[in-house]
């Protein structure tokens, strides 16, 4: 059911309900505003009730069918039982009263109409409060181009749908285009952004014969590749399958409200049948039938339909004010069972921005600013992440570079005036036998930074540390998680050394590095065998794990794929907001439990009394008393939901 359809059903049902309320009694009792004496009044109510039953009841019939097919009767089955019994008994009462004017058989059209309306309203409130922003699978599909530049027999390239690519086809990938399918580099030495695979923003240089992943971004130079896997077998297709399976498994999990409704369904069915059998033996079927019908109808009190939606509406409103977008409310019910918080490194615990973090000088001849300007000048025209970071760190004009040359896998060189400069990495420095201060290198490498050396005439004049910075609130966040007896675990596609550096600074003991998406899913599943698991991430490579976890939390600044796969989105991208989420979720869980007790607890008294258990001593549930109890429980549920607040 989509929102527009549900809203339309509610509006039409309310319009039909108004005359039904005015023309029919409530549980056999005429209210002050009940209209009587209209010719054919009972038949008019029957017609209106029939339209309402078949039109407004459709969502519940469809839901009940699914629950019964899965052999898990729950809320939809309970609602369907109530409205089906109410309708058909009221149909029977209308016909019998017409044939036998003195029969005075009570109908339940008033209850039928209000029950359908309130249940539709409850579902609409919950749907309106919690709407999925989009589909994670669709977002994954958008990461690959719809067509690829395939080489033809005449050596020209023609755009071809990726579904039509065959193994061995040669494809051209232009600058700033995404790789269409998995394959191997044929010609060229591109630098690819494989963050969707590893979560790391640092570019990866590829050489001839290297494997490339469909969906990765070619950041600097055109290259050709051969198709190694067709679109339906590639990396992103596998991620799509992982996400889909995880989401389907999660939707099959029972909510607390469904469990309560299931218990009530069985209780009402058993008590109703026993009442029918016992009273038929004692006083006959005509006496027993109204008793059994009353049992079936009051088993589904109006309060139960609003018990959860009212809390959800309040919860999502407060959460939105705190920068929390709740997309899958039932997942929050697992909050008290959480024992592990599995989290990605880049973008979650760190800022996710590869940039200049520190500049060290080795001579008084050049200042830190001059070192940065010279390094950025050498990197002009390159789209490599190191070059981009240097260029972003410098303002003003750059010195003119002559004879600029890129050395693959090593760095870049050029002439500035009469001076020869080079920006090199550590292996290139060793290869050329250039001396350097190892202490400076270690001081930056220990922080997890990528280190570049600015060399002037074979002498190191400056050392630049580039990398990601830990988020300001990350350390306190980890400490607070531990205080709540939740064990933090780092999952990252980055290398072991870089992961350990961040983990040690944050005091995270359990670290898993060099992970692919399927590895993260396997680890989530493994930890789930030991307790409830919350997964926090922001990248494409996190999306299957976010969907698999008991509670998936996406960083708001992350990819659309991760956001759509998660249960909750942190709009402000602050890890500490997870603590606010946990606190709010615990409060909401408590309110939901209380409301279900109010909504269902009514039945603990009403069902046995309606079945006539105390009738031998002269006590029988008066229909008006039942109606008052039903209304009272609804009011209590509504007030209790409104008292939810973040402590």
User: Which residues are annotated as catalytic?
Assistant: 344
How do beta strands 532-537 and 338-344 pair? parallel
What's the DSSP call for residue 340?
E
Helices in 159-301 by DSSP H: which ranges?
195-198, 235-251, 256-283, 285-298
Burial class (CB in 10 A: 0-12, 13-18, 19+), 591: buried
Residue 2 has, within 13 A of its CA and on its CB side, a CA count of 1
Encode burial over 595-612: b for 16+ CB neighbours within 10 A, e otherwise.
Answer: bbbbbbebbeebbbbbbb
Phi/psi for 348 (5° steps) reads -105, -60
DSSP class of 397: P
DSSP string, 359-400: EEESSTTS-HHHHHHHHHHHTTT--SHHHHHHHHH--SPPPP
Angle separating helix axes 368-378 and 385-393, nearest 10 degrees = 140
Query: Taking the alpha carbons of 10, 11, 12, 15 in that order, is the dihedral positive or negative?
Result: positive
H or E, element range at 140: helix 136-141
In three-state secondary structure terms, 328 is: coil
Which residue's structure tokens are 């350390």?
475
Q: Compute the chain's Rg from CA coordinates.
A: 34
- Matching residue, tokens 């025209």: 381
Number of helices and strands in the chain (H, E):
22, 22
Say if CB 191 and CB 384 are below 8 A apart: yes
Q: How many CB atoms lie within 10 A of CB 134?
A: 14
Structure-token match 């399918």, residue found: 181
In angstroms, the CA 426 to CA 428 distance is: 5
Q: How many residues does the chain have?
A: 647
């Amino acid at each position: 059911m989509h929102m527009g359809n549900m809203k339309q059903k509610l509006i039409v049902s309310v319009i039909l309900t108004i005359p039904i309320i005015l023309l029919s009694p409530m549980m056999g009792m005429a209210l002050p505003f009940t209209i009587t004496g209209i010719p054919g009044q009972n038949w008019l109510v029957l017609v209106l009730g029939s339209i309402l039953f078949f039109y407004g009841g459709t969502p519940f019939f469809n839901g009940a069918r699914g629950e019964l097919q899965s052999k898990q009767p729950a809320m939809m089955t309970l609602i369907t039982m109530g409205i089906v019994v109410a309708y058909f008994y009221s149909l029977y009462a209308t016909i019998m009263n017409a044939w036998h004017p003195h029969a005075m058989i009570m109908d339940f059209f008033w209850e039928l109409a209000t029950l359908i309306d309130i249940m539709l309203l409850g579902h609409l409130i919950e749907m309106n409060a919690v709407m999925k922003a989009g589909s994670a699978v669709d977002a994954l599909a958008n990461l690959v181009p719809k067509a690829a530049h395939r080489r033809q027999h005449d050596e020209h390239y023609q755009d071809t749908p990726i579904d039509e690519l065959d193994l061995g086809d040669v494809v051209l990938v232009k600058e700033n285009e995404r790789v269409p399918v998995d394959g191997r580099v044929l010609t060229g030495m591109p630098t690819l952004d494989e963050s969707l695979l590893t979560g790391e923003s640092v570019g990866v240089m590829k050489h001839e014969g290297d494997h490339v992943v469909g969906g990765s971004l070619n950041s600097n130079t055109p290259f050709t590749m051969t198709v190694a896997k067709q679109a339906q077998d590639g990396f992103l297709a596998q991620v799509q399958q992982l996400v889909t399976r995880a989401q389907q498994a999660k939707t099959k999990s029972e909510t607390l409200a469904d469990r309560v409704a299931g218990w009530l369904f069985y209780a009402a069915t058993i008590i109703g049948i026993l009442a029918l059998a016992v009273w038929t033996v004692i006083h006959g079927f005509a006496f027993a039938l109204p008793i059994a019908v009353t049992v079936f109808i009051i088993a589904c009190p109006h309060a139960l339909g609003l018990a959860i939606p009212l809390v959800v509406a309040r919860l999502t409103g407060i959460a939105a004010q705190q920068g929390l977008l709740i997309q899958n409310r039932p997942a929050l019910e697992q909050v008290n069972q959480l024992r592990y918080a599995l989290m990605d490194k880049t973008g979650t615990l760190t800022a996710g921005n590869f940039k200049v973090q520190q500049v060290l000088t080795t001579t008084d001849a050049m200042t830190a600013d001059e070192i940065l300007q010279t390094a950025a000048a050498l990197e002009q025209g390159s789209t490599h992440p190191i070059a981009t970071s240097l260029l972003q760190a410098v303002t003003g004009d750059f010195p003119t570079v002559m004879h600029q040359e890129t050395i693959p896998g090593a760095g870049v060189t050029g002439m500035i005036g009469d001076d020869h400069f080079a920006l090199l990495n550590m292996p290139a420095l060793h290869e050329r036998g250039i001396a350097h201060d190892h202490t400076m290198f270690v001081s930056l490498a220990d922080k997890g930074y990528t280190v570049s050396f600015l060399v002037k005439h074979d002498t190191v004049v400056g050392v630049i540390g580039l990398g990601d910075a830990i988020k300001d609130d990350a350390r306190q966040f980890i400490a607070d998680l531990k205080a709540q007896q939740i064990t933090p675990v780092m999952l990252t596609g980055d290398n072991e050394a870089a992961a350990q550096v961040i983990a040690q600074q944050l005091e995270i003991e359990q670290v898993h590095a060099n992970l692919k998406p399927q590895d993260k899913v396997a680890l989530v599943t493994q930890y789930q065998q030991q307790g409830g698991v919350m997964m926090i991430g922001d990248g494409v490579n996190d999306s299957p794990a976010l969907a698999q976890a008991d509670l998936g939390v996406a960083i708001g600044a992350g990819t659309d794929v991760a956001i759509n796969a998660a249960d909750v989105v942190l709009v402000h991208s602050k890890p500490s907001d997870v603590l606010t989420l946990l606190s709010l979720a615990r409060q909401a869980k408590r309110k939901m439990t209380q409301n279900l007790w109010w909504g269902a607890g009514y039945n603990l008294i009403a069902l046995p009394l309606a079945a006539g258990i105390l009738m031998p001593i002269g006590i029988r549930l008066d229909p008006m008393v039942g109606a008052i109890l039903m209304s009272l429980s609804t009011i209590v549920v509504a007030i209790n939901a409104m008292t939810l607040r973040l402590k």
